[in-house]
Amino acid sequence: MTRTGWMYWRSQRSAGASPARYGCALLFLLVAAACGKPKQPTPAASVSLVFASPALTLDPQRHSEDQTRAILANFFEGLVELDRNLAIRPRLATDWSNPSETVWRFRLRPGVRFHDGHTLTAEDVRHTIERAKRIDRSCVEPDVRAIIEVRTVDPLTVEFVTDRPRPLLLARLATAPILSRYTNDAEITKPVGTGPFVMQGTTQSRGEGGFTHIRANRFDDYWGPKPGYEKLEIRCVAGDEELAATAATGATVISPLPSGGLGTLKSESARYRAVRSPTVTIGFLICRLQPMSNGKPSPFADRRVRRALSLAIDRPSLVARAFGDEAIPAWQLVMPGIHGFDPGLEQPPADPDRARRLLAEAGFPSGFEARLLVSSRSLLAGNEIARQLAPLGIRLEVRDSPWPDRLTELEKGNAHLVLGFWSTISGDASGLFEPVIHTRGGPGGFGSENRSGYSNAELDHDIQAASVEMNSNARARFLRQAMRRALEDLPLVPLYAPSWTYGIREGAELTPRLDAAVLGADVVLHSPGS
């Protein structure tokens, strides 16, 4: 998984609610005790979150992975944040303005303290941006590259000067947490942020497997509403069996619930409920357009073949057979509600007869052989795609492979198709178009994740025009035009949007987030019987 990006999608998803209810309950208990009434049981003093992948690092500027970001969001905060519906909200900044199209002025929240006790000022913000640009292996640098100058106007006012109009700067700052001005350039091993929890200890897996166990305490000097419990534990395990085994240890939230559902939790299953949520992730086929490793042309270099591929797949049937109610069909490259989704485009029905005609026009009347790489959890989907394409003579060899290996095989020309996923957590289609659809080697890093070899000058123009257009309506027009061009050419063939399912223990609540993150402060505990 990445910033707004490639995801090893597991299958399901949730988050949120306010700790205020706990505060009210505690006040009630104190009053009841003073009146001599029997004291009711209080909520548990800790929450345990169990995830299927670890935090890759404790340095928020040296990763671009979604699960790592969600874990570190317990300790770090940005000037702004994306809420559970991906709307931009103030966080460490109370408000912002644009004195000009290339100047952004932020007013900082007064009285915010870091975990080491010092107070947030504009100097911390300046240091954060400069460090992101300076350090080796910086994954935040693309988000702040557009900032060419940081001005500390006064202790609580900071200005960013950008190289040109940057309408998506706020969304990108939401994934750029503010660090202490005392943070050096070495990789962070103990987070010092402004978040609601203070890290107490970690366990790192051998090699480069990331941090599998994190222990934290509530930050009692936190500027905002405090979590309704004292201790947070985060455990990261691999595989459905280990996910299920953690239920017996008292996990509060399991994310995601094992693919077998509540039944996999065995004796503990009655103590959990499943909460399913939609996502902003799209699963699609990435087509290789360049010649294969043997020197032969890829059949998918012909747009007619890609269109035939899309027309031959019955998306509702694919979803029903492979996922049941854990996904929905998708025919655009972003979901409704994402800026750039085109409501004027109708969902095209499967049309195998037209697909056959297109294949014949492209010189493949009898079809061809091709290799499709999928994740182990997507084998059912891959096999269903192969079944649906077989009547057209397209003979797919379906293999499961880890995500990095799938990309490597595609780029080497050893695979014709890869089943990939993209999560547009920025809430804007540019999060996909700029890195994945734009021609590789474009300005400002555009095309950096283009794995198919696709290039279209007109589409590039639309993407670049949207990237500097400050007017929301005008940007939407450019993005929708880009969407139409992408769906005409189909370097990526959209298929479905997976959902995310959580296992939530009795006595706890969690409201789903569209980015699938689970934050410790979002978990609300209730007294037994409440």
Give the CATH number for residue 489.
3.10.105.10
Q: Is position 162 within any domain? A: yes
Same domain, 414 and 299: yes
The H or E element containing residue 242 is helix 240-245
Task: State whether 386 and 237 are in the same domain.
Answer: no
Containing domain of residue 260, as a range? 1-57+195-277+500-530
Please write the tens of the pLDDT for every residue from 246-267: 888 899 999 998 878 899 898 8
- Please determine, for residue 488, whether its predicted confidence score (pLDDT) is greater than 50: yes
CATH classification at residue 158: 3.90.76.10
**Residue 97 falls inside a structural domain:** yes
Say if residue 142's pLDDT is above 90: no
Q: Report how far residue 331's alpha carbon sits from residue 84's, in angstroms, rounded to the nearest whole number.
A: 24
Pair (270, 321) in one structural domain: no
Higher pLDDT, 34 or 66: 66
Residue 178: half-sphere exposure toward Cβ, Cα within 13 Å = 26
> Quick one: 478 and 490 in the same domain?
yes
The predicted pLDDT at position 112 comes to: 98
Are 315 and 427 in a shared domain? yes
CB-CB contact of 374 with 496 (8 Å):
no
Q: What is the mean pLDDT of residues 463-478?
A: 94
- In the listed set 162, 190, 218, which residue is the last one of a domain according to the structure? 190
**What was the pLDDT predicted at 190?**
94
Same domain, 400 and 473: yes
Q: Indicate the average pLDDT of the chain.
A: 89
CATH of the domain at 519: 3.40.190.10
pLDDT grade, residue 530 (50/70/90)?
Answer: low
Q: In the structure encoding, which two tokens stand for residue 504, read together?
A: 């939530």
SS3 percent helix, strand, coil of the chain, rounded to 5, is 30, 25, 45
Residue 68 domain flag = no
Per-residue pLDDT at 110? 98
Task: Convert the pLDDT of each residue in 499-527 to its tens digit.
Answer: 999 999 999 999 999 999 999 999 999 87
Q: Each residue of 285-315: pLDDT tens digit? A: 999 999 999 999 999 999 999 999 999 999 9
- Please report the pLDDT score of residue 26 as a whole number: 32
Through-space distance between the first and last CA atoms of the chain, rounded to whole angstroms: 38
64 part of a folded domain? no
Which pLDDT score is estimated for 40? 41
3-class secondary structure per residue, 348-381? CCCCHHHHHHHHHHCCCCCCEEEEEEECHHHHHH
Looking at the structure, do residues 357 and 471 belong to the same domain, yes or no?
yes
pLDDT of residue 84: 92
Residue 286 counted as domain residue: yes
Q: Is the pLDDT of residue 326 over 70?
A: yes
**Has residue 258 been placed in a domain?**
yes
How far is it, in rounded angstroms, from Cα 414 to Cα 291? Answer: 10
| Contacting residues for 521 by C-beta, under 8 A, at least 6 apart | 19, 74, 196, 197, 225, 227
Q: Is 309 in the same domain as 450? A: yes
Q: What is the pLDDT of residues 432-450, one digit of tens each?
A: 999 999 999 998 789 988 9
- For residue 63, is it within any domain? no
Residue 205 has what pLDDT?
76
How many Å apart are CA 272 and CA 277, to the nearest integer?
16
Tell me the pLDDT tens digit for each residue of 335-367.
998 999 999 998 889 999 999 999 999 999 999
Q: Of the candidates 171, 190, 209, which is a domain's last residue?
A: 190
- pLDDT tier, 528 (very low <50, low <70, confident <90, very high otherwise): low
Tell which residue, 256, 377, 273, has the closest CA to residue 13: 256
Residues 22 and 144 in one domain: no
Domain end point (choices 168, 190, 212):
190
Q: What is the pLDDT of residue 245?
A: 87
Q: Assess whether 448 and 490 both reside in one domain.
A: yes
User: Are 343 and 266 within one domain?
Assistant: no
What's the half-sphere exposure (Cβ side, CA atoms, 13 Å) at 71? Answer: 34
Q: Determine if the pTM surpasses 0.85.
A: no
Q: Looking at the structure, do residues 106 and 31 belong to the same domain, yes or no?
A: no
Q: What is the mean pLDDT of residues 263-291?
A: 94
Residue 147 resides in a domain:
yes
Q: In whole angstroms, what is the distance from residue 422 CA to residue 7 CA? A: 6
The residue written with tokens 């043997």 in the block is: 294
- Domain count within the chain: 3
